[in-house]
Amino acid sequence: MQKGENGELLEPVEEVVIDVDEEHAGVVVQKMSERKAEMVELRPSGGNRQRLVFHAPTRGLIGYQSELLTDTRGTAVMNRLFHAYEPYKGELPGRTNGVLISNEQGESVAYAMWNLEDRGPMVIDPGVRVYQGMIIGIHSRDNDLEVNVLKGKKLTN
């Protein structure tokens, strides 16, 4: 960030070129607009692909590469190049995922973690000592969720 001649706040803006399959173009445009990007150009790139060109604040692109690959099943290609300093575009939205929180204290169990896989990825391994309120994973939705990673499988004959 820097101040302009008239004292206004300026931020670096990059030109972002994304080649993507047509079926994923909509979600890319949506995610880029959430990050305060302005679409400059959209044109066919051949073979059912689209070339999308945006001007986006650099701070809005932090962490977007992995999200882009997830949204497009690894088929998108993104290139970035500094474009200019432009007036500050406002606040960006905060995190879009909640967290998974342990609701008990003890040692995490692989069976319980496997059953919670559909809730989101875990940031701990089986056998780790956890405490109540500890963040143990990333929730696939936008809210926080308390879960039990201590529940083992009952073995019976």
- pLDDT tens for residues 63-85? 889 889 988 999 999 999 999 99
6 shares its domain with 79 = yes
Assess if residue 78 is contained within a domain: yes
Please name which of 60, 49, 43 lies closest in space to residue 19, comparing C-alpha atoms.
49
13 shares its domain with 34 = yes
Report, in angstroms and rounded to the nearest whole number, the Rg of the chain calculated over CA atoms: 21
- Encode pLDDT of 119-146 as tens digits: 888 889 999 999 999 999 888 887 888 9
Tokens of 109: 């169990």
d(CA 22, CA 68): 14
Assess if residue 154 is contained within a domain: no
15 shares its domain with 80 = yes
Report the pLDDT value the prediction gives residue 51, as an integer from 0 to 100: 95
Assess if residue 156 is contained within a domain: no
Q: Range of 67's domain?
A: 2-87
33 shares its domain with 54 = yes
139 shares its domain with 116 = yes
CATH number at residue 108: 2.40.50.250
Q: Which residue has the higher pLDDT, 96 or 140?
A: 140
